[in-house]
Structure 1
Amino acid sequence: MRVHHLNCISTCPLGGRLMDGRSRTVLERGHLACHCLLVETPECLVLVDTGLGLLDVADPKTRLSRFFLTLLRPEFREQMTAVRQVERLGFNPADVRHILLSHLDFDHAGGLDDFPHATVHMLAREREHALQQRSWLDRQRFRPQQWSSQPRWRTYEPDSGGRWHGFEGVRSPDGLPPEILLVPLPGHTHGHAGIAIDAGERWKFLAADAYFHIGEMEATPGCPPGLRFYQWMMELDRDARLHNQDRLRALCRDARDIDVFCSHDIAEFELLSGRSARLPGEGFMDH
């Protein structure tokens, strides 16, 4: 299976270097990726997360919260949406038949509306919690305006799967080949998941928002202080989040045939994609 790395609209958070560890100062805006994957299977295309979508670009104020628009200031470039990058790669968006969603935060689920033929797969706990809209922050991050795809959502209980490299509750979503796995990684949200793909010689494991910075996977973990605070602000289960980070570090240390990466680290995206995070996918392929 071929795996394409797509950055589906970067965000530019307040705090500059405090957020990304790369910007020159703390006074400028930082730069974070939204790392998604497009997988070519023999039967169809599979998208892993969607980033922000066409409707978010066209009318962000009705789709997204003022709080996150101010804090993160996404780069609303239509060419960076998943659907436009699928087209640039020479594919028909109608051939995207499945979307695996790590979680329902606005910056991961905004492009669902752009793929009306796709079944959307996620953990059941994610759907349940997001629909409840319990807290003020829940209402800012989980945006029902982005969820016209709800009739096509398919959910899974985390206790219904098997094991993969020590992670439990792992399963291949319905209708997908066994080489694509949904891996529960709760913490950032209650139903947060990673997605593992057997791409042949190596596995690709998108850990999504289980961590945010490449330094967190080092033996001595490190993270820019602003980004560390952001993770704390957004977490729904701190103990689970930190436990899963420990397990991901162990996986990075012990499994030499697995590329582990998160959703928002620019360096990881550029290393795996072979191009600048500011460029859309066009004929690039990793496998």
Structure 2
Amino acid sequence: MAPKLRLTTVNAGTFTMPKEGLMYGASGTVTVPSTVVVVEHSTHGLVLFDTGVNHHVADPEAAETYWGPGLRAKYGAEGFTRDDAVDAQLRRLGHRPADVTHVLYSHLHLDHAGGMSYFPHAVHVVQHDELRHAWWPDRWTARGYTVNDYLHCRGYDYLELRGDVDLFLDGTVRLVRTAGHTPGHQAMILDLANQGRVGFMGDAAHLKEALDQDVPQLSDWNVEQKLLTYQHVRALARAGVRVFLSHDPADYAALPHDGDTWD
């Protein structure tokens, strides 16, 4: 019998920030989600794609130490609460953090790896060069990472990848390298019985508008690779994969959440 998947999503960190921070040259402000995908896999248990923002950011004083001075306000995360953190959201869905068997990371920025420490017994699946870069990032991309997210996680079980992989060798969960925003960015493609192939692109692009217009983010690690990744995302869409970006508000609205699921 083929494995069955069921998924929902949660928003584990809302940001209100200048739109130019996500799309070079844009004006105005934008409010965006931080999408975490929660997958119930009939064979391999509970799988997460990304982990959102750490709960310490809910406390203005703690955030000054955890993220760094002024970053909570800079990213427009003042509305983040303890209940928004992914461990609390899992409990709301009827799961325990200990139920999570695998955590897959698009990349290790502070709005994607903030919940790493909640899952000490899971397998943490990340591109090898992303893990290295998170510990010692290039200066112009350093502010996207916070070492506190993984400072006490060095002894975790990491599955370090170099390129694309069919994670469980059953076609249900594939990881595709999509570097550019960071050195080791990756996307996840699921094969659902009733929804077909669905791709979660993380920050391979930040906004659909930026993807459509080939506009990168000012703080991307490598603009050339980012624009090549845009082509990769479009190729996946042409091949029939429904692609979703982690921070695009319309994409999040179209995904199952608040008790809804896809299978």
Under TM normalisation by the shorter chain, which class is it?
0.7 to 0.9
Pick from 197, 200, 220 the counterpart of residue 193 of structure 2. 200
| Partner Cα distance (2:204, 2:48) in 1 | 19
Matches of residues 57-68 of structure 1 in structure 2 within 5 Å?
Answer: 57-58=58-59, 59-66=62-69, 68=71
Pick from 234, 237, 255 the counterpart of residue 239 of structure 2. 255
> Which amino acid letter does the alignment assign opposite residue 117 of structure 1?
H
- 8 Å contact from structure 2 (residues 57, 72) kept in 1: no
| Partner Cα distance (1:85, 1:193) in 2 | 24
- 8 Å contact from structure 2 (residues 123, 159) kept in 1: no
Deviation at 1:110, TM superposition (A): 0.6
Per the alignment, residue 12 of structure 2 pairs with 8
Matches of residues 242-281 of structure 1 in structure 2 within 5 Å?
Answer: 242-252=227-237, 254-256=238-240, 258-273=241-256, 281=257
What are the ranges of 5 or more consecutive residues in structure 1 without an aligned counterpart?
159-168, 274-280
Matches of residues 32-71 of structure 1 in structure 2 within 5 Å?
Answer: 32-42=32-42, 43-58=44-59, 59-66=62-69, 68-71=71-74
- Report the 3-state secondary structure (helix = DSSP H, G, I; strand = E; otherwise coil) of the residue aligned with 1:103: coil
- Report the 3-state secondary structure (helix = DSSP H, G, I; strand = E; otherwise coil) of the residue aligned with 1:66: coil
CA 1:67–1:126 in 2, change beyond 3 Å: closer, same or farther?
farther
Q: Deviations over 1:234-276 (max 9, x none)?
A: 2111111101101212322x223x2201110011100122xxx
- 8 Å contact from structure 2 (residues 8, 259) kept in 1: no
What are the ranges of 5 or more consecutive residues in structure 2 without an aligned counterpart?
none
| Partner Cα distance (1:5, 1:134) in 2 | 31
- 8 Å contact from structure 1 (residues 8, 33) kept in 2: yes
Query: Does 2:31 correspond to 1:31?
Result: yes
Structure 2 length normalisation: TM-score? 0.86
| Partner Cα distance (1:185, 1:20) in 2 | 17
- 8 Å contact from structure 1 (residues 20, 32) kept in 2: no
- Report the 3-state secondary structure (helix = DSSP H, G, I; strand = E; otherwise coil) of the residue aligned with 1:232: coil
Pick from 151, 159, 181 the counterpart of residue 188 of structure 1. 181
- 8 Å contact from structure 2 (residues 121, 157) kept in 1: no
CA 1:95–1:204 in 2, change beyond 3 Å: closer, same or farther?
same
- 8 Å contact from structure 2 (residues 37, 49) kept in 1: yes
- 8 Å contact from structure 1 (residues 56, 110) kept in 2: no
- Report the 3-state secondary structure (helix = DSSP H, G, I; strand = E; otherwise coil) of the residue aligned with 1:87: helix
Structure 1 length normalisation: TM-score? 0.79
| Partner Cα distance (2:224, 2:218) in 1 | 14
Deviation at 1:56, TM superposition (A): 3.0
Q: Deviations over 1:18-37 (max 9, x none)?
A: 6789xxx93xx530111110
Deviation at 1:151, TM superposition (A): 1.7
| Partner Cα distance (1:40, 1:187) in 2 | 29
Q: Deviations over 1:208-248 (max 9, x none)?
A: 1111112345xxx238xxxx5xx432211111110110121
> Which amino acid letter does the alignment assign opposite residue 39 of structure 1?
V
- Report the 3-state secondary structure (helix = DSSP H, G, I; strand = E; otherwise coil) of the residue aligned with 1:109: coil
| Partner Cα distance (2:144, 2:186) in 1 | 17
| Partner Cα distance (1:14, 1:216) in 2 | 14
Deviation at 1:97, TM superposition (A): 1.4
| Partner Cα distance (2:111, 2:58) in 1 | 12
CA 1:7–1:132 in 2, change beyond 3 Å: closer, same or farther?
same
Per the alignment, residue 213 of structure 2 pairs with 222
CA 1:199–1:156 in 2, change beyond 3 Å: closer, same or farther?
same
- 8 Å contact from structure 2 (residues 106, 185) kept in 1: yes
Query: Does 2:194 correspond to 1:211?
Result: no
Percent of matched pairs sharing the same residue: 25
| Partner Cα distance (1:180, 1:213) in 2 | 24
| Partner Cα distance (1:92, 1:155) in 2 | 22
- Report the 3-state secondary structure (helix = DSSP H, G, I; strand = E; otherwise coil) of the residue aligned with 2:47: strand
| Partner Cα distance (1:91, 1:109) in 2 | 19
| Partner Cα distance (1:98, 1:127) in 2 | 16
Deviation at 1:96, TM superposition (A): 0.7
Give the length in aligned residue pairs. Answer: 250
Query: Does 2:176 correspond to 1:150?
Result: no
Deviation at 1:79, TM superposition (A): 1.9
